[in-house]
A and B are shown apart, each in its own frame.
Chain A
Amino acid sequence: MLDFISANAGAIQMWVAVACTLGIYSILYKENKIYRFFEHAFIGLAMGWTIRTAWVDVLYPNFYQRIFHEGRWWWILALPLGLMLYLIYSRKYNWMARISIGFLLGLSAGQTFQSFAGLYYKQIVTTFKPIVPQAAEGSMKAVTLSGAINNLIFLAIIICVMTYFFFSFEVKSKVVQKTANTGRWVLMIAFGAIFGSTIMARMALFISRMDFLIKQFGGTFVPWLK
């Protein structure tokens, strides 16, 4: 039996993959048990792989090996801090959980601030764009007429969108209302572009499976399909 499996591993792998693909796509017709079976099999496999990888790539080399093979016994002190989080369920000792939570909050807050600075400061700086054509001067790059028009459109859109998000007071001015309305339109166009990209992404995933079914699987029986 094992010899048969090892001799035909490639073919078995392909047939299993075909069954999984068709089983999952059977939901497109209607809800059924075959779909549910393959869905649960996929979730189980992914979870099993995650547990295996967490042990092989993380826990074993970084904790087990360090503590038990390299003698860094003090690393085990991290364990009580982690276990203290579970004391949140105890009325008497939940103050102990707050120590660990406070530690994690402090760490996360610091990292979030650093992350915000790293992500957005440069973007804020590059928002200030020249809107008048100019020749290169010192560290300033040259701005062509088309570049200046682009920058002007960019600036107008930023102003319109930011005006739309003035929610804290009632807007009575017609000019501000119109600007905010333009901002809303611009946002809708952006959401449309995002939705279009989403469709492209879903189609790409579908095409990938169809490519497997037709070219790789079908091609083994009908060579011109390859």
Chain B
Amino acid sequence: MSILEKLQTIDRRIVYLLLFLSVGLALIPRKPLPVIPSNQARSAFEAIENAPTDKLVIIGADWSASTRGENGAQTIAILHHLMKRRLPFAIMGFDPQGPELVAAEAEKLAKRYNYQYGTDWINWGFRPPGTINATLKAMVRGFQEGMKQDSKNIPLSDHVRLPMMARFKDINDVGVLVVVTPSQTFESWVAFVQGIKGTPLVFCPTAVMAPEAYQYLDSGQMVGMLTGLKGALEYEGLVKEPGRATAQGLALSVSHILIILLIVVGNLGYLAQKRRQKSQQGVG
């Protein structure tokens, strides 16, 4: 077996080590790569940029700590934009960890932008995923009927502690829907919320989920999309708030180059093996 043929069977631990080193080194430089935002990221930005300030933005936080690397960065970039524009927002989710993770990020940023809980933003909390369709349908008819209380068990009818809920009653008061999820829950949001009044929906999936969503962009059921970490990186550039994704952009590109190189190397080995087998057959 020649050296070229051996390239097909590189020990996986060597591949992991190469990845570890290349990503580790690429994280150290501070200068970010220039980024050209994609059309779908720009459309997502415009949807929030043009949202009326007297309407509510609902953030569907259906992600957990396992996809924080992508969904966390997207959420922070979106939160920056919402708070810069002083758009009121409500967080809810069908993953037990999602609303709490988003609320934790919102609390951090709230200090900087002087956002008050109950007045400018609210956390409606977690609802069981098995009830997603029924909950969303009820929510569309009326927030009080559909959600009843926030994550701190304050009734939405308590307008002293939650004054913002006196202004927002149902889907007619919603300006934009932002769905951040690595799962299929976005389909319920499209079918049972977006489709009712044609409310603009911005989708923030993990990169795995993104290819399945393009037809929704084409049909206008979604107005914009942030594709995984790349989408977050583009959005940070548009909002002019370089953060986690911007710092990781170079490492993402380096990891892609490494994977492409490994594919090329593996195929070179395959071609060498094929050539050797052919020449052996010729001799035989």
Contacts and interface: CB of A to CB of B under 8 A. Distances in A.
A57 B248 contact: no
A209 B211 contact: no
B248 A208 contact: yes
Interface stretch (A7-15, A83-91, A167-175, A210-218): A210-218
Interface stretch (B32-40, B50-58, B212-220): B212-220
B191 A190 contact: no
A216 to B, nearest CB: 10
A62 interface: yes
A153 interface: no
Interface in B215-269: 215-216, 218-221, 227-230, 244, 247-248, 251-252, 255-256, 259
Given A49-B97, A61-B148, A115-B192, A123 B69 contact: no
Contacts of B125: 57
A204 B128 CA distance: 28
Contacts, number: 142
Contacts of B12: 28
Interface stretch (B2-10, B20-28, B114-122, B274-282): B20-28
B24 A118 contact: no
The winner among A28, A206, A208, A214 for most chain B CB atoms within 10 A is: A208
Contacts of B273: none
Contact of B207 (A57, A125, A197, A207): A197
Given A49-B96, A119-B190, A204 B211 contact: no
Contacts of B229: 200, 204, 207-208
A205 interface: yes
By secondary structure, the A interface counts as: helix
A224 to B, nearest CB: 9
Contacts of A56: 153
Interface residues of B, number: 61
B252 A215 contact: no
Given A200-B230, A210-B27, A126 B64 contact: no
A115 B133 contact: yes
B126 A204 contact: no
Nearest to A203: B255
Contact of B16 (A28, A119, A203): A28
Nearest to A65: B153
Interface in A177-194: 190, 193-194
B248 A211 contact: yes
A204 B255 CA distance: 9
B111 interface: no
A204 B133 contact: no
Interface in B152-193: 153, 187-188, 190-192
Nearest to B191: A118
Given A207-B27, A211-B248, A214-B27, A197 B208 contact: yes
Nearest to A199: B259
Nearest to A114: B191
A215 B212 CA distance: 34
B153 A204 contact: no
Interface of B: 12-13, 16, 19-20, 23-24, 27-28, 64-70, 72-73, 96-97, 100, 125-128, 133-134, 148-149, 151, 153, 187-188, 190-192, 195, 206-208, 210-212, 215-216, 218-221, 227-230, 244, 247-248, 251-252, 255-256, 259
17 contacts: A28-B12, A29-B13, A46-B65, A53-B96, A54-B96, A115-B188, A115-B191, A118-B192, A123-B219, A194-B208, A204-B69, A205-B67, A205-B70, A208-B68, A208-B73, A211-B27, A214-B27
Given A54-B96, A203-B256, A208-B229, 12 more contacts: A29-B13, A53-B97, A62-B148, A116-B191, A123-B219, A200-B229, A204-B229, A206-B69, A207-B27, A207-B251, A209-B69, A210-B251
